[in-house]
Structure 1
Amino acid sequence: MGRAFEFRKERKFKRWTKMAVQFTRIGKDIAIAVKEGGPHPETNSKLRTAIQNGKAVNMPKDRVDAAIKRASDKDMAGYEEFVYEGYAPHGVAILVETATDNTNRTVANVRSYFTKTNGSLGKTGSLDFIFKRVSTFTFDPKEMDIEELELDLIDFGLEDIFVEADEDGNDIAVVHATFEDFGNMQKALEEKGIELRSSKLERIPLSHAQVTEEQALDVNKLLDKLEEDEDVQAVYHNMEE
């Protein structure tokens, strides 16, 4: 009974830690969006996207509103966005997106994570041949005709649409569009009355590195360190799952 209690306690702690990191990242997305396009989601699609993503991870409305208010303060310093690229052990490509108010701290931390796990940082753009930038949107498919929707979205940059199971085992529709058509696809989905669960620009690997289970543990050590850093917004890799 004692072990079971400790296991549940550890799982709960990890869940809350993950949630706290997600809230921090979305708070930065909100701040960046407000600085770029103002505090009104009706006229700021990037802010609208950040708020949608906040809802998807159950970020409280008062925290969203507070983030918008802070970012609206002209005296508040903004965040700078940087991308770091490199290799984990066993030839696995890693791409790290960051948003920071202290670039020296961020690059020092990222470099140390790679170094301590026997990885190596590379030059910006060195992994362009491995990762492709795409626009990704998710929503509840309900009773929707996905094949009909696919035909409707082709003119808005659609590359792929499919239904898969989310973490809770529920169906979720996923739309991939070209990087350049993020705004067009977002507008098209909203005009069809589809309530988006999340919308983001992400990177998908064009090739994969195959590793053993033991080697995957080495790679995951680096991924975990990066994921836990508050300056890191997203981490991508090409390790075969």
Structure 2
Amino acid sequence: SLRTAIEKARAANMPKDTMEKAIKKGAGELEGQSFSEALYEGYAPGGVALLIRCLTDNKNRTAQEIRHTLSKYGGSMAESGAVSWMFERKGIITVAKEQISDLEEFQLLAIEAGAEDIKDEADPIEIVTSPDSVSDVKAALEENGYSLSYDMSYIPSNTLKVEGSDAGKLFKLLDILEDNDDVQEIYENSDIDEAEMEALAEQMD
């Protein structure tokens, strides 16, 4: 995905103290600070829809920063509900392929527990569930000895083809948003050609 490409391009350049701070913040371990979650909606260049999940100790400050970044890099803030309807809230469970000796048996186990979709092309395998079923699927897999990671995500109902200068602007905007300490996750509905995505990621190195 576009976000994965950006993360890979950035990973080697993240200072250790920045990474540790991000981990502590996510776990609510920064002393003297109380954080709450906020979800901001917006548009990126090319009309791409954005959902930006933040963890902040000051929602007004974070909203202003997100609005400023979007405006500066060719996007715009949207009203609540303007973008979120384009996404579905889903549970995402990932399991490393090396744990799976019988893929068909694994798939059957997940489906019987409530999985909606299983994406097994990449490693780790990704299991998509409804928000209500994620706990059941997680429990079924763990009871059968699988180690896993899970999170809640927003999956776009439809994607939007983006190319050329709009793709470059989108990549830049997402990179800048990722620089904001308050930003935890960015969900977007772009469809960018893989070769173009790789070229954009290389430009960041």
Give the alignment's TM-score, normalised by structure 1.
Answer: 0.68
Identity in percent: 33
1:40 corresponds in structure 2 to none
CA distance in 1, matches of 2:53, 2:22: 11
Residues 182, 20 of structure 1: alpha-carbon distance in 2 compared, 3 angstrom cutoff: farther
Gaps of 5+ in 1: 1-10, 32-66, 166-170
Q: For 1:43-192, list aligned pairs within 5 A.
A: 67=29, 76-142=32-98, 143-165=100-122, 171-192=123-144
Aligned partner of residue 180 in structure 1, secondary structure: coil
Aligned partner of residue 144 in structure 1, secondary structure: coil
Farther-moved stretch of structure 1 (225-234 vs 14-23)? 14-23
- Specify which of 143, 156, 171 is matched with residue 205 of structure 1: 156
Query: Whose RCO is larger (CA < 8 A, sep 6+)?
Result: 2
Q: Deviations over 1:57-84 (max 9, x none)?
A: xxxxxxxxxx4xx67xxxx432110000
CA shift at 1:134, angstroms?
A: 1.0
CA shift at 1:144, angstroms?
A: 2.4
CA distance in 1, matches of 2:147, 2:56: 31
Retained in 2: the 8 A contact 1:114–1:120? yes
Retained in 2: the 8 A contact 1:21–1:228? no
Retained in 1: the 8 A contact 2:48–2:188? yes
Is the counterpart of residue 233 in structure 1 residue 184 in structure 2?
A: yes
CA distance in 2, matches of 1:188, 1:225: 39
One-letter amino acid of the structure 1 residue matched with residue 64 of structure 2:
A
Aligned partner of residue 132 in structure 2, secondary structure: helix
2:14 corresponds in structure 1 to 17
- Specify which of 29, 32, 40 is matched with residue 26 of structure 2: 29
CA shift at 1:14, angstroms?
A: 5.2
CA distance in 2, matches of 1:132, 1:12: 28
CA distance in 1, matches of 2:11, 2:133: 36
Which structure has the larger Rg?
1
CA distance in 1, matches of 2:38, 2:48: 20
Retained in 1: the 8 A contact 2:42–2:75? yes
How much is the aligned-residue C-alpha RMSD, in angstroms? 2.4
Aligned partner of residue 164 in structure 1, secondary structure: coil
Retained in 1: the 8 A contact 2:95–2:146? yes
1:217 corresponds in structure 2 to 168
